[in-house]
Amino acid sequence: MNNYSERHSVGVVGFRGYSGAELVRILSHHPGVEVVLLEHRSEPEQRPFPLGHKPPTTIPATVQAMRRENLKVVFLGTPADVSLELAPAILEADIKVIDLSGAFRLGDPETFSRWYKERHTAPELLGEAVYGLPEFYRDAIRGARLVANPGCYPTAANLAIRPLLKAQVIDRSRGIICDAKSGVSGAGRKPSLKTSFCEVTENFSAYGIVEHRHVPEVLQNSGLGEREFTFTAHLLPIARGILETIYVRTERVEKAVDLLSIYEDCYANEPFVRLYAPGKVPDLRAVQHTNFCDIGFHFDPETQRATIIAAEDNLVKGAAGQAVQNMNLVLGFEETEALL
């Protein structure tokens, strides 16, 4: 861990949500930043705190207060409508924004409206928002004022699919199928019957078949068309983790190691993408509580069928960890700071 001469103040709105709380936890181990909690909607504390171990002081999520604290970056761990409300004013105040919602991920306001069922109130920012997937947009992120932190499902899907698309070894006419399974924290912390313990424990269900708001995010960043990508989201009876089983037919791939080479060409120097020997695949345990996205696959040369497994922690590489990775790029820290 480096010792930075200068510590920057950064703020977190939505610090009580699962992603927000994970963000605060990760940032508390970062030697280059000081965290400030920004209260958007006050809420009574639910958990008792040990004596003498209070959380960081909290200030209102107003631009005035953010300026007074001299914040360099504000993370928005808020629903899309709240991000749309807060982001413009924060940027106006010359504070950078890393938004964990879907508000700025889709380049087109109509596509946003279709999937998020609300009007986009800041379309003028869509042009400059940078999609925060460092493995593909690192340089743009470094200079960004507004980073749209990727969705949890699209992070794993894009990391698994893009190298093969780029290498043009996928038979796109046969389509790509992504069977995705996620832990319950992906649904957020707001109580609902669907995420109640008794409904989820010892159960398993599909909840987003073909139609899921993360689909257009995958399409936009992979160049796939709507008909080429079939997606299903399932709810796992666990708190955290996403595992995606992706089915493709390849073209012109002779051996499993050739497929591996394509991945290695992309990710050999990536600190947070790990690959496995052909035939070996990660489980969720391999990535929980880490910022890694692990990718393994099984390949059958005769039929050109590849079954790819991508695993990540939805709260870390799928949300808060990637947000810190983006902050490290934006503020010029080591990209891996606080994340290894």
Please say whether the beta carbons of 273 and 182 come within 8 A: no
Residues 84, 161: Cα–Cα separation, whole Å: 30
φ and ψ at residue 207, rounded to 5 degrees: -130, -15
Q: Look at strands 71-76 and 8-13 and give their pairing.
A: parallel
191 binds its own copies (CB under 8 A): yes
Total residues interacting with its own copies, rule: CB under 8 A = 73
26 binds its own copies (CB under 8 A): no
Please say whether the beta carbons of 177 and 247 come within 8 A: yes
Kindly tell me which residue out of 9, 56, 289, 334 binds its own copies, with binding defined by CB under 8 A. 289
Kindly tell me which residue out of 46, 54, 92, 117 binds its own copies, with binding defined by CB under 8 A. 46
Please say whether the beta carbons of 176 and 115 come within 8 A: no
Q: Which is nearer to its own copies, 88 or 175 (CB)?
A: 175
Kindly tell me which residue out of 41, 67, 204, 251 binds its own copies, with binding defined by CB under 8 A. 204
Q: Which is nearer to its own copies, 136 or 276 (CB)?
A: 276
Q: Which is nearer to its own copies, 103 or 236 (CB)?
A: 236
> Which window, 64-72, 124-132, 143-151, 280-288, contacts its own copies (CB under 8 A)?
280-288
Longest dimension (CA), the chain: 64
47 binds its own copies (CB under 8 A): yes
Give, as ranges, the residues between 143 and 182 that touch its own copies (CB under 8 A). 174-175, 177, 179, 181
Kindly tell me which residue out of 64, 70, 168, 203 binds its own copies, with binding defined by CB under 8 A. 203
140 binds its own copies (CB under 8 A): no
Sign of CA dihedral 316, 322, 323, 328: positive
117 binds its own copies (CB under 8 A): no
H-run or E-run covering 309: strand 305-312
Rg over CA atoms, the chain = 20
7 binds its own copies (CB under 8 A): no
Q: Check residue 187 and report its DSSP letter.
A: G
Site string for its own copies, 219-258 (x = CB under 8 A): --------x--x-x-x-xxxxxx-x-x-x-x---------
Kindly tell me which residue out of 6, 45, 127, 285 binds its own copies, with binding defined by CB under 8 A. 285
Q: Which is nearer to its own copies, 33 or 200 (CB)?
A: 200
Q: Count the Cβ atoms, other than its own, within 10 Å of residue 65.
A: 15
Residues 110, 21: Cα–Cα separation, whole Å: 32
Please say whether the beta carbons of 106 and 127 come within 8 A: no
**Beta carbon of residue 89, minimum distance to its own copies (angstroms, whole number):** 30
Active site residue 293: no
Task: Report how far apart, in Å, the C-alpha atoms of 121 and of each of 61, 103, 104, 124, 313 are.
Answer: 19, 10, 11, 9, 31
Please say whether the beta carbons of 11 and 74 come within 8 A: yes
> Which window, 75-83, 107-115, 142-150, 184-192, contacts its own copies (CB under 8 A)?
184-192
Q: Which is nearer to its own copies, 139 or 283 (CB)?
A: 283
Which residues does the annotation mark as catalytic? 152
